[in-house]
Amino acid sequence: MTVPLSRLLLYRYGPIAWVWRALMIPALAAGAYCAVLATIQLEPILVVVAAPLALPALYLGRVVAVRIERLEDGDLLVRTLLFQRRRLARSDLGAPRLRQFAQGDVGQFYAPRAWIPVRDRLPIYLDLLAHIPDRSAFGNAFRIDKARLPSRDAR
């Protein structure tokens, strides 16, 4: 029996993750249904219908982080929307791409986020308005200047 490593919580997305999951499940189910129907009925056009339903949900479900913990050995344990666990060495993380604003129909709005590239793997997407208990530890783990993180008052 192995003894679990001690962990430090760096990031928690919160209840909004369940909203995204609730939206992804029908898309994945519809995509899978179309793919199965395509094979049963030998209708390849149904694969064209299945792809735009399922592929975005599969991609975002694997890159959007919902919980990140730093392990005792310095590695990061990242949990994603699709309940996947990714153990990442800090040395595999690339330079983060931070954005403070997003463009909507009527103009820009405040939506701080970060894309963290990971060597030879899918990136990590972080909503920076999520719960970040220790901003210094979070900033150190992802090489993000603490001053560029939103203040707690921004929520």
| Residue 141 CB neighbours (<10 A) | 21
For residue range 29-64, what is the model confidence (pLDDT) as tens digits? Answer: 999 988 888 888 888 888 888 888 899 999 999 999
- With 60 as the cut, is the pLDDT of residue 150 above it? yes
How many Å apart are CA 148 and CA 142, to the nearest integer? 12
Predicted local distance difference test score (pLDDT) of residue 152: 62
Q: What share of the chain is helix, strand, coil (3-state, %, to 5)?
A: 40, 30, 30
In this predicted structure, what is the pLDDT of residue 44?
Answer: 83
Q: What is the pLDDT of residues 86-145, one digit of tens each?
A: 999 999 999 999 988 888 788 888 889 999 999 999 999 999 999 999 999 999 999 998
What is the pLDDT at residue 121?
96
DSSP code string of 72-98: TTS-EEEEETTS-EEEE-GGGB---EE
Q: What's residue 105's pLDDT?
A: 82
Looking at residue 148, what is its pLDDT?
80
Residue 68 scores a pLDDT above 60: yes
Q: State residue 145's pLDDT score.
A: 85
